[in-house]
Structure 1
Amino acid sequence: MFQQLQSGLVVSCQAPVDSPLHDSFVIAAMAQAAVNQGAGGVRIDTPAHVEAVRRRVTAPIIGLWKQQISGSDVYITPQFIHAAAIARAGADIIAIDATLRQRPEGETVAELIQRIHAELDKPVMADVDTLEAAIAAADAGADCVGTTLYGYTAETRHLKPPGFDLLTQMAERLQVSIVCEGGIASPEVARRALELGADIVVVGTAITGIDLQVKAYQAAITRD
Structure 2
Amino acid sequence: MTGTAIDTKAGILKALQDGLIVSVQPIDGGAMDRDEVVVAMASAAVDGGAQGLRIEGANRLAAVRAALPNTPIVGLVKRDFEEWPLRITALMEDVHALAKAGADIIAIDGTDRPRPHSFAELAKAAHDHGCLVMADLSTEQEADNCLRDGADIIGTTMSGYTGEAPTPEEPDFPLLEAVAKKGGFVIAEGRFSTPDLCRAAIERGADCVTVGSALTRLEIMTQLFSNAVAAARKDHRP
Considering only CA atoms, is the larger Rg found in Structure 1 or Structure 2? 2
Q: Which residue of 1 aligns with 2:228?
A: 220
What is the aligned counterpart of 1:34 among 21, 26, 45?
45
In structure 1, the gaps of 5 or more residues are none
Q: Which residue of 2 aligns with 1:146?
A: 155
Write the mapping of 1:133-212 to structure 2, written as runs, cut at 5 A: 133-154=142-163, 157=166, 159-172=168-181, 174-212=182-220
Deviation string 1:152-187 (CA, Å, 9 cap, x unpaired) is: 011775644411110001112x22100100111111
Matches of 2:164 and 2:152, distance apart in 1: 24
Q: Which residue of 2 aligns with 1:111?
A: 121
Matches of 1:158 and 1:202, distance apart in 2: 18
Deviation string 1:20-70 (CA, Å, 9 cap, x unpaired) is: 111110001111111112111100001121011111112100000101122
TM-score normalized with structure 1 length: 0.94
Matches of 1:171 and 1:180, distance apart in 2: 10
Aligned AA (1:137): C
Partner-residue secondary structure (3-state), 1:62 = strand
Aligned AA (2:112): L
TM-score normalized with structure 2 length: 0.89
What is the aligned counterpart of 1:6 among 2, 11, 17?
17
Q: Does 1:16 align with 2:24?
A: no
Whether the 8 Å contact between 2:99 and 2:126 is mirrored in structure 1 is: no
Deviation string 1:52-89 (CA, Å, 9 cap, x unpaired) is: 11111121000001011221111101111111111111
Q: Does 1:77 align with 2:85?
A: no
Matches of 2:110 and 2:170, distance apart in 1: 18
Matches of 2:196 and 2:178, distance apart in 1: 21
Whether the 8 Å contact between 2:62 and 2:101 is mirrored in structure 1 is: yes
Deviation string 1:112-161 (CA, Å, 9 cap, x unpaired) is: 1112212x221101000111111111111101010001110117756444
Whether the 8 Å contact between 2:22 and 2:45 is mirrored in structure 1 is: yes
In structure 2, the gaps of 5 or more residues are 1-11
Whether the 8 Å contact between 1:13 and 1:27 is mirrored in structure 2 is: yes
Partner-residue secondary structure (3-state), 1:222 = helix
Change (3 A) 1:134 1:80: same
Aligned AA (1:83): V
Matches of 2:170 and 2:109, distance apart in 1: 17
